[in-house]
Amino acid sequence: MPLGLLAAAGFLAMACARVMDPLLAAIAADFRVGVPAASIVIAAFTLPYGLNQLVLGPLGDRFGKLRVMLAALAGFVLFTGLCATAANLPMLVLLRALSGAMSAGMIPAAMAYIADAVPYELRQITISRYMTGNVMGLTLAGPIGGIIGEFLGWRAVFLVLAAAGAGVSTLLALRLRALPDPRHPGPLFNPGNYLTLAGRRTSRLLLLATAAEGAVTTGAFPFLAPFLHQEFALSYAAAGVILAFFGIGAFLYTRVATPLLPRLGEPGFILAGGGMMVVCLVLATLLHGWGGFVALETGLGLGYYLLHGVLQARATELLPHARSTAMASFAFMLFFGQSIGAMLFAMGIAAAGYRWSLLADAALVLAVTLALYRLAAPTASAPAREPRRPQQ
């Protein structure tokens, strides 16, 4: 299994999604708008990322997950590079949207590819190892965006990401012929798979829970950098370095998931992760210096992935005969929720400021955590699996 290349593609997708976080204030200043208005570049990436899952998921089942990933990488390189040429905010929003749509073919396809090869009992552990690339993207997105943006301008960030994408796509193209990448004959788009997901209560609950999780847990994250910039007068580079500790927390998850899962179980992961995020969000409103945000970002990263990893592992079993479609649906709901959450948080900032918005988000995270715990509590094992059957 080409775990390294899959992880590298995941790195690029996560880095591109989060690299703008420390640069929102710079983009707002460049285009002469406020930070809440500039934050549309976040939703511009995440919403098309989620929507295009509905297209790329079935294509992955039909033509092969690695082939779809390679095509998505090519589009990522093109549109991410063009973001550096944006003359105004609407043009940047459009190009970010196209870049997000192409990025949709990386992480869900990789997880579906892994799920095809690894039994459920080992899957969350294997995915946690694969996620090292995603986590490194989270870890380095802040420093990459902040430091490059500070010294070369925010446009240079996109050129760096596009160049890295060109390298990964070249390596994947060279290895593709030697890798198993099964295709499934049939129509290009099979709506029956989506109807199957919608018709099962377990699937509906998981996907709705994923949307709620995305809205309340990650909707606030892009605004922590401008909060640090406004409240503590930190430079973009310094704010970006602090954001990197979210990735450090996520990296800790990849190290502790294996020994802790047998002890805590999936419900325990949900409670621990959600509780950790609630505490960190509340403390963020009480601190009067930026130093404590290093620990808070680390806690947010660890807490988020403890909770999110449970939903992610269970999603791989929603459609065993069409995992690319299932993971695409999961990603669609996650990023749809994240886009809605980011827009609502921006409205909250405009109406009540950063601190009250963070407190409101902490309350919502607590509510969603308790609901997810109830959903997972009946069993700490894998969800009931559907029998395998050929793609229709």
Mean pLDDT of the 160-172 span: 91
Q: Provide mean pLDDT across the span 199-228.
A: 82
**Over 50: is that where the pLDDT of 56 sits?**
yes
Task: Choose between 279 and 118: higher pLDDT.
Answer: 279
Which pair of tokens denotes residue 234?
A: 């930190």
- Which one has a higher pLDDT value, 240 or 84? 84
Answer yes or no: is 22 within a domain.
Answer: yes
| Per-residue pLDDT band at 390 (split at 50, 70, 90) | very low
Query: Looking at the predicted structure, is the pLDDT value of residue 241 above 60?
Result: yes
Q: Do 190 and 58 form a contact (C-beta atoms < 8 A)?
A: yes
* CB-based contact 169:77 (threshold 8 Å): yes
- Look at residue 138 in the predicted model and tell me its pLDDT: 65
Structure tokens at 242: 């602090």
Q: What is the pLDDT of residue 257?
A: 77
85, pLDDT greater than 80: yes
Q: Which of 1-10, 159-168, 199-208 has the lowest mean pLDDT?
A: 1-10
Segments of the chain assigned E as strands: none
Q: In a 3-state reduction of DSSP, which class is residue 186?
A: coil
Percent residues over pLDDT 70 in the chain: 90
Question: Is the pLDDT confidence value at 1 over 70?
Answer: no
Mean predicted confidence (pLDDT) in 231-259: 78
Q: Is residue 20 part of a domain?
A: yes
- The pLDDT value recorded for residue 382 is 43
Assigned domain for 359 exists: yes
The rounded percent of the chain whose pLDDT value lies above 90 is: 14
Q: Distances in Å between the alpha carbon of 123 and those of 114, 120, 132, 133? A: 8, 5, 14, 16
DSSP for residue 143:
H
**273 token code pair:** 């992760």
Domain contains 323: yes
Confidence of residue 236 (pLDDT cuts 50, 70, 90): low
Integer Cα distance of 343 and 339 in angstroms: 6
Burial class (CB in 10 A: 0-12, 13-18, 19+), 263: exposed
End-to-end CA distance of the chain: 26
Q: Residue 183: is its pLDDT beyond 60? A: yes
Residue whose C-alpha is closest to residue 313's, from 303, 321, 299, 323: 323
Please check the confidence at residue 385 and state whether its pLDDT lies above 60: no
- As for how many domains the chain has, the answer is 1
Q: According to the model, what pLDDT value does residue 93 have?
A: 92
pLDDT given for residue 250 in this prediction: 80
Distance (Å, rounded) from C-alpha 40 to C-alpha 342?
Answer: 9
Average pLDDT on 235-256 reads 78
Asked if residue 388 is part of any domain, the answer here is: no
For the domain that residue 68 is a member of, what is the CATH number? 1.20.1250.20
pLDDT in tens, 345-381: 888 887 888 888 888 888 999 998 998 888 777 543 4
Supply the pTM of this predicted model. 0.66
Q: Which phi-psi region, left, alpha or beta, contains residue 265 (left: φ > 0; alpha: ψ -120 to 50)?
A: left
Nearest to 205 by CA among 384, 361, 59, 60: 384
Mean pLDDT is highest, among 34-38, 256-260, 354-358, for 354-358
CB 224, CB 297: distance < 8 Å = yes
* pLDDT at 10 (0 to 100): 87
More confident residue, 176 or 203: 203
Mean pLDDT, the chain, whole residue set: 80
Residue among 372, 14, 58 nearest 161 (CA): 14
pLDDT at 193 over 50: yes
Tens digits of residue pLDDT in 324-333: 778 878 888 8
User: Who contacts 233 (Cβ-Cβ below 8 Å, separation ≥6)?
Assistant: none
Please report whether residue 21 resides in a domain: yes
Residue 164 within a domain: yes
Tokens encoding 40: 């549309």
* pLDDT at res. 315: 83
Across 25-38, average pLDDT: 82
* Domain containing residue 337: 3-178+199-376
Evaluate whether residue 331 is within a structural domain: yes
User: Is 79:98 a contact under the CB 8 Å cutoff?
Assistant: yes
pLDDT over 70 at 186, yes or no:
no
How buried is residue 54: exposed, middle or buried, by Cβ count under 10 Å (0-12/13-18/19+)?
middle
Give yes or no for a contact between 42 and 132, defined as CB atoms under 8 angstroms apart: no
